[in-house]
Amino acid sequence: MWIRNGKNSFQVHSGCCTEDRFKEEKERKQGEQLRDNCCNSGSEKSQGMLALSISPNRRYLAISETVQEKPAITIYELSSIPCRKRKVLNNFDFQVQKFISMAFSPDSKYLLAQTSPPESNLVYWLWEKQKVMAIVRIDTQNNPVYQVSFSPQDNTQVCVTGNGMFKLLRFAEGTLKQTNFQRGEPQNYLAHTWVADDKIVVGTDTGKLFLFESGDQRWETSIMVKEPTDGSKSLDVIQESESLIEFPPVSSPLPSYEQMVAASSHSQMSMPQVFAIAAYSKGFACSAGPGRVLLFEKMEEKDFYRESREIRIPVDPQSNDPSQSDKQDVLCLCFSPSEETLVASTSKNQLYSITMSLTEISKGEPAHFEYLMYPLHSAPITGLATCIRKPFIATCSLDRSIRLWNYETNTLELFKEYQEEAYSISLHPSGHFIVVGFADKLRLMNLLIDDIRSFKEYSVRGCGECSFSNGGHLFAAVNGNVIHVYTTTSLENISSLKGHTGKIRSIVWNADDSKLISGGTDGAVYEWNLSTGKRETECVLKSCSYNCVTVSPDAKIIFAVGSDHTLKEIADSLMLLTFDDQFLLTAAEDGCLFTWKVFDKDGRGIKREREVGFAEEVLVTKTDMEEKAQVMLELKTRVEELKMENEYQLRLKDMNYSEKIKELTDKFIQEMESLKTKNQVLRTEKEKQDVYHHEHIEDLLDKQSRELQEMECCNNQKLLLEYEKYQELQLKSQRMQEEYEKQLRDNDETKSQALEELTEFYEAKLQEKTTLLEEAQEDVRQQLREFEETKKQIEEDEDREIQDIKTKYEKKLRDEKESNLRLKGETGIMRKKFSSLQKEIEERTNDIETLKGEQMKLQGVIKSLEKDIQGLKREIQERDETIQDKEKRIYDLKKKNQELGKFKFVLDYKIKELKKQIEPRENEIRVMKEQIQEMEAELENFHKQNTQLELNITELWQKLRATDQEMRRERQKERDLEALVKRFKTDLHNCVAYIQEPRLLKEKVRGLFEKYVQRADMVEIAGLNTDLQQEYARQREHLERNLATLKKKVVKEGELHRTDYVRIMQENVSLIKEINELRRELKFTRSQVYDLEAALKLTKKVRPQEVSETEPSRDMLSTAPTARLNEQEETGRIIEMQRLEIQRLRDQIQEQEQVTGFHTLAGVRLPSLSNSEVDLEVKTN
């Protein structure tokens, strides 16, 4: 058999991979491809993966491995299915132990790889040609390097961060050269990312974020943790630098969580460690301490960021210690390509996600993550089991949890945590029971529909192996070197198998459950006969420690895996085949559980011997069933009550609607009559207006003709005057031109004379300067000779002085070296003393804090107990008082009881007489009830008739509308035909004018023919073609179907958008209310302003009503009235704009109401525009 490509993994591997080790696992775009196509276990003889990196174009995946104790980088091509190896880099010309971080260039052609200390080399590869372009040593002090990366836009720019290092390098001329210089104290940089081409954000283990631009620090901020009274830690961002910018980024590829915590143990415990940063379009997210992530958004105007949201890991209610869930560190963050979801990986191997839209909704309060799939194991898996009747996998782990998985649906069915660690587990073949070996006891449990409940416990401590028999009637459990066998019927121990001298590591049943095979660390494999309880066969090899045994189906061959390497040892892992041999299950110490599909050599799936469907029944306790039945009965009674209430309310509504319909019909008839009278009045007015307009147009035409004549006369006179002015100006221009030519000639003559004079003057000056230059050159030569002589003398003096100084300083150097060696020894001793003292101080402070906490708890308990004592004393006093009161009442009641006994005899006689009187009235009530039922039946009939009549009325109205539309069409056609006849008559009348010219007449008649006779009319239509009719019918059916679907869509869209329209209307009403309130406030403030001005005697006290009535005089003009008028104009403009906006919204609502399938909600109406306008005018005045 062959195992090919894992079907699904229940947990992402959480090893010590750096550089995008979590990023690739959580990016959904490549997640399915990596899961379905890249589940092969790396290269052959691989000893583990150290780092992952995915290319920006999502086509290649680079994996750093250790193959046969040699480092190697394998590059896979993800586009092929299944993915194949593209290149393997394993021949190196430089020393390397392992590659701890990698990164692809933006164009995916180059690969950057960082080696581990002590080499700490950074290698720049052209990976397709396996060519090393450059290599440089990053660190010489053996500090760990956490991350390397390329600039997102530049292949030549590289960033490296680690403990005490932040370096920017550039590839040029075959070498990597550092371009920045570190300033200030070195930090332990855990994560970094590129914000832009030359900007990088870096996070440290002390909760600090730095921005570097071109290698220079531009900004710094610290994330501090405060401890409030409730014990929960809240985060506050304290900005300490001059700038106010905060920044974005990618995931932090870290070497391992434990290494980083150890490296940063010297930092203060109050400082959160920034393990991860991730960028998105609005800003960035960063981890900020245990269980917390902060979102920072970029400000719109300024180039800085502010904290916008806090996201927390929620408390797990199913856990025994729910507070532990929010204490796990977030090691990696990653956004989806659409930036819709944020995924986080934690130190406890859990994956959480959150949709970014939820963070925007929950403003003011911290948002909470959710599990990406389901809660996973956070510690090594110790037990693995499967069953026959159900597709279940049971696992137990050192995280004190038991989980039940479904390998068909790839989901988590059940999950429960306990107080003790579980070492082994076994599933019953039916899938209804499990046996689990805990640290303190062995427990037999029921698998219920939503819980795992224990029903039998055995005192077997630290059971390392347990197993149900194939028939399910027995189960075996290992207690050190003894095997106990129990029955599932009576739950008793039927036998104990003793014989091993070491711990038993594995047990297995044969096919018919008659024998049991065991293997242990003592090198013995025994076959036990359960009927006799004795060994039948044995194989002892003391040099081998067996880890696992199994048996062939015929129980003739036993296979064992041990430490002698005769068969390959599968160390610290679990492996199991399902009952139908379709899937292989594997689990290991890293907390991973994988299911693998089993194929044969030809790639075909293994055929099942018999098809047996999985069982669907589930165990449920009787109490749960009774509770659910009780709940169902209560719900049924509630449903019946609601039905009765709904029927009653529907009847009431029908009555109300029938009354409303009657009122509406009466109003409609009245409005119709009033509209008819109005229509007649408007027609008479229209005729009068037509006569008036005809007369007015004739008058205007006469006026226009007169004005035209007058304008022509005026324009002619103006043209003559302008022509005369043009001739005068032309003569002036000729004179001016002659004068300017004369001036130009004079200027040329003066210019030539001045040039001659200047040339003579400057030639004389040049001769003088040449003589001066020759003299200066002779002086310079003499000075140079003197300088050389002085120089020789000074050099001789300096050589002598240098030799003297050399001898002095050599002596001083020897003395300093000796003193330096002594000081180094002393400093080493002092460092050891300091570290030991520091550890003692920390231990003492921790002890003090724990003692203080215990003291506070005890004080609180004492206070609460004192309060309880006082309350109990008060209760005792109150109860004594109530006892006395009750005794008095009992005495009074006894007296009353005697009196009531006397009245009882009298009342019995009266009751008998009243019963005789009630009987005839009860008969009358029955008759009346029957009459009421008959009346209700008649009422229902009347309601049905009314609804039928309403439907008929609506149908008739629809028909009436259709006939009206047809009549309008026919009238329009008639008008069009009359207009066409008129046009034809006029054209024909024009043709008659050419009756004596036959050519022109022929052309005109032909034009008439082409104009009024169409080609379709020339063809005589004898009968309709059958094909055309069929095509017409088909097109009509198609259009009707489209129309029906469009109507349905419109109805759906109307229902979807109804809530939006209601919201808009509500907002509009609230805005109108706010406008009215603002107007009232404005009016009140204006009156206050006028009162204050009158009090200060700046202006006369004038009310707004008086200002509008009185006319402003010339002498009383001042700044206050003008400002008042300007305010009135502004308010008027605002009101007008609001009116237009309200009218536009009303028009949109009417258009939406006219759409088929959309109806406005009852009871939601805007006030009428006319009333609102009147109110606005009153308030402005």
The rounded radius of gyration (Å) of the Cα atoms in the chain is: 51
Tell me the mean pLDDT in the region 574-586: 71
Quick one: pLDDT band at residue 622, thresholds 50, 70, 90?
Answer: confident
pLDDT on residue 150 = 92
Residue 376's closest CA among 586, 592, 575? 592
User: Is-cis flag, bond preceding 375, omega within 30?
Assistant: no
Quick one: pLDDT band at residue 243, thresholds 50, 70, 90?
Answer: very low
Residue 96's closest CA among 75, 67, 76? 67
* Cα–Cα dist 764/758, whole Å: 10
Residue 416's closest CA among 401, 399, 435, 433? 401
pLDDT on residue 42 = 64
What token pair was written down for 1166?
């805007």
- Are 199 and 222 a contacting pair, CB within 8 Å? no
For tokens 């532990």, name the residue: 324
Residue 475 has pLDDT above 90, yes or no: yes
- Strand (E) or helix (H) holding 756: helix 622-992
* Cα–Cα dist 449/432, whole Å: 10
pLDDT tens for each residue of 1077-1099? 888 888 888 888 888 877 775 54
Q: Is 1050 helix (H, G, I), strand (E, B) or coil?
A: helix
For tokens 């200027």, name the residue: 747
Burial class (CB in 10 A: 0-12, 13-18, 19+), 403: buried
Q: How far is CA 354 from the centre of its chain?
A: 5
Which segment of 321-325, 562-566, 930-934 scores lowest on mean pLDDT?
562-566
Spatial CB neighbours of 124, under 8 Å, sequence gap ≥ 6: 110, 112, 132, 133, 134, 135, 158, 171, 176
What token pair was written down for 491?
């739950």
In Å, the largest CA–CA distance within the chain is 165
DSSP state of 765: H
What token pair was written down for 730?
């032309």
| CA-to-CA separations, 111 to 87, 137, 174, 1108, 1179, in angstroms, rounded | 12, 17, 15, 82, 75
* Cα–Cα dist 365/358, whole Å: 11
Q: What pairs with residue 560 in β-bridges?
A: 549
Sort strands 199-204 and 208-213 into parallel, antiparallel or unpaired: antiparallel
pLDDT on residue 19 = 35
pLDDT on residue 535 = 84
pLDDT tens for each residue of 705-742? 888 888 888 888 888 888 888 888 888 888 888 888 88
How far does the chain reach from its first CA to its final CA, in angstroms? 96
> Angle at CA 1163, nearest 5°, toward 1158 and 1164?
65
* Cα–Cα dist 542/1074, whole Å: 92
Residue 360's closest CA among 278, 245, 283? 283
Q: How many of the other CB atoms lie within 10 Å of CB of 765? A: 8
Phi-psi region of 273 (alpha: psi -120 to 50; beta: other; left: phi over 0): beta
Quick one: pLDDT band at residue 562, thresholds 50, 70, 90?
Answer: confident
Residue 999 has pLDDT above 70, yes or no: yes
- Side chain identity at 310, as an amino acid letter? E
- Are 1058 and 1161 a contacting pair, CB within 8 Å? yes
pLDDT on residue 15 = 34
Quick one: pLDDT band at residue 1110, thresholds 50, 70, 90?
Answer: very low
Q: How many of the other CB atoms lie within 10 Å of CB of 1017? A: 9
% the chain with pLDDT above 70: 83
Q: Can you give the three-state secondary structure of 545-577, one letter per residue?
A: CEEEEEECCCCCCEEEEECCCCCCCCCCEEEEE
Tell me the mean pLDDT in the region 435-458: 90
pLDDT on residue 610 = 52
- Are 998 and 992 a contacting pair, CB within 8 Å? no
- Are 347 and 254 a contacting pair, CB within 8 Å? no
Quick one: pLDDT band at residue 1149, thresholds 50, 70, 90?
Answer: confident
Burial class (CB in 10 A: 0-12, 13-18, 19+), 285: buried
DSSP state of 281: T
Residue 246's closest CA among 204, 281, 195, 289? 195
Quick one: pLDDT band at residue 1158, thresholds 50, 70, 90?
Answer: very low
Residue 441: phi, psi to the nearest 5? -145, 165
Q: Is 342 helix (H, G, I), strand (E, B) or coil?
A: strand
pLDDT tens for each residue of 356-396? 887 776 666 788 898 888 888 888 898 999 998 888 999 99
Q: Is 287 helix (H, G, I), strand (E, B) or coil?
A: strand
